[in-house]
Structure 1
Amino acid sequence: MADEYEQNHVHEVYQQIAGHFSATRFKAWPIVEQFLQAQSPGSVGLDVGCGNGKNLTVNKDVFIVASDRSENLARIAMQHQPHSTVVADILQLPHRDAFFDFAISIAVVHHMSTPERRVEAVAEILRTVKPGSGTEPGGKFLVYAWALEQKDSRRGWDKGDPQDIMVPWVRKSKSDQGQEQTFHRYYHLYEEGELERDIEQAGGQVLESGYEKDNWWAIATPKPKPKPAS
């Protein structure tokens, strides 16, 4: 079962490494920062898979509801007041349809272990974002996922390599004379164009897309729903 696999190889790992992981995450990536700064004052947004909440402080003129599947990471993110943080699964978000002005999900959907679940995750976030109507544009959703094409990074993956992999996280224990502990997390490495295809399949319309920091990213909006026949 995919949910059990992700529980063992994603969720439980982040529960164990939350503190160490948080200590290595402290600054928003450039395009994430640019996207958040572009939101109108008073906007209400959603951060799915917020981790330690490092992106919550980028724009002090917006309010963000953050969520993470890891209770330990969500607890760390709660320090970023006045924003709200909840524990939630990306496939079952506890939010109303078409409620948020914008949404972000940074380096999260690649932890879903099947193509169907990755599309479902994107669709679930799009569900919560306001769609366009007439001449009014809809809310925007920024999503990042690790890229397969990383030949210039220290990891060195590239086209032709496996896309479904286990990535180690090494942590030195404070006890046991500093012995190292290694945890393995599941990742799906997105190939060029795959993120855009998932968004389209999930009912979104891609507005922009590109590559940054070994990730593919895209900005999307929910496709307007057709008007009922009169």
Structure 2
Amino acid sequence: MAEVEYRGENYEEQHVHTVYEQIASHFSSTRYKPWPIIERFLKELPAGSVGLDIGCGNGKYLAVNPSIFLVGSDRSHNLAEIAAQHQPHSVVVADILDLPHQPHCFDFAISIAVVHHLSTPERRVQAIRSIVESLKPGGKALVYVWALEQESSRRGWSEQDTQDVMVPWVMRGSKKDHGDRHEANGGHSHSSDKTFHRYYHLYRKGELEQDVHAADGCVIDAGYEKDNWWAIAEPTQR
């Protein structure tokens, strides 16, 4: 895979946002089961808590805890439309770098598999800062990013691999397989299949915590789950 030569807003528009608009319904049908740590984070929040799901995708986390209220946002109009079906929660179309909410207003935030789509170090730190700045003093944010260290997964990435990659998403083109979809890293495809490529920055161990600190956040817990690094952060006390 050739190294990405130019990254930034225009690059993400082509290799992230446009792709998700095209694959939204297929992508949504593969995202339905909450991950354990995220589910626990949401269920342990006090009743009445109000928070953000930044980059909510199809909204699968919006209804995990009926005792809290979530405002979801996603850059994809099509995914936001799907997520909006999770009433009574609100969903808006918004970029993580330009959220429409007042800062310092929310009890919590989650951002799952979003920050790794930002294509420069500065933009990734800016994205995390946007998450942290949404929180009230004492509020907590849970952030997930894809890990570079995935040697046991079908993708097989390891510490020796490049961190900036294009990941294929294959949609089956034949009538028999219509609606089938999968993420692939090699393998066989038919001539009628359609393949889309999404940009990812794969995080090394400790890199997410470094970005949180650079974004004026404080890491209070961190770990690894399902080929992802995660961190729980709160605003730095000033």
Q: Please report the RMSD computed on the Cα atoms of aligned residues, expressed in angstroms.
A: 1.3
Secondary structure at the aligned position of 1:42 is classed as coil
Change (3 A) 1:25 1:177: closer
Secondary structure at the aligned position of 2:106 is classed as coil
1:140 partnered with 2:140: yes
Which residue number corresponds to residue 205 of structure 1? 218
Match runs of 1:155-166 below 5 Å: 155-166=155-166
Match runs of 1:1-230 below 5 Å: 2-131=8-137, 138-173=138-173, 179-225=192-238
AA of the residue aligned to 1:93: L
Give the TM-score, by structure 1 length: 0.93
Secondary structure at the aligned position of 2:144 is classed as strand
Measured in 1, the distance between the counterparts of 2:224 and 2:79 equals 26
Measured in 1, the distance between the counterparts of 2:8 and 2:25 equals 26
Figure out how many residues of one structure are paired with residues of the other and give that number.
219
Measured in 2, the distance between the counterparts of 1:177 and 1:129 equals 44
Encode CA deviations 1:51-87: one digit per residue, 9 max, x unaligned.
0000011100000000000000000000000000000
Aligned-residue offset at 1:173:
3.1
Aligned-residue offset at 1:20:
0.2
Aligned-residue offset at 1:174:
6.2
Structure 2, unaligned runs of 5 or more:
1-6, 179-191
Extract structure 1 runs of 4+ deviating beyond 4 A: 174-178
Secondary structure at the aligned position of 2:136 is classed as coil
Aligned-residue offset at 1:224:
1.4
Aligned-residue offset at 1:172:
1.4
Encode CA deviations 1:15-73: one digit per residue, 9 max, x unaligned.
00000000000011000000000111000010000000000111000000000000000
Give the TM-score, by structure 2 length: 0.90
Aligned-residue offset at 1:176:
10
Measured in 1, the distance between the counterparts of 2:224 and 2:98 equals 28
AA of the residue aligned to 1:158: S
AA of the residue aligned to 1:143: V
Measured in 1, the distance between the counterparts of 2:93 and 2:177 equals 34
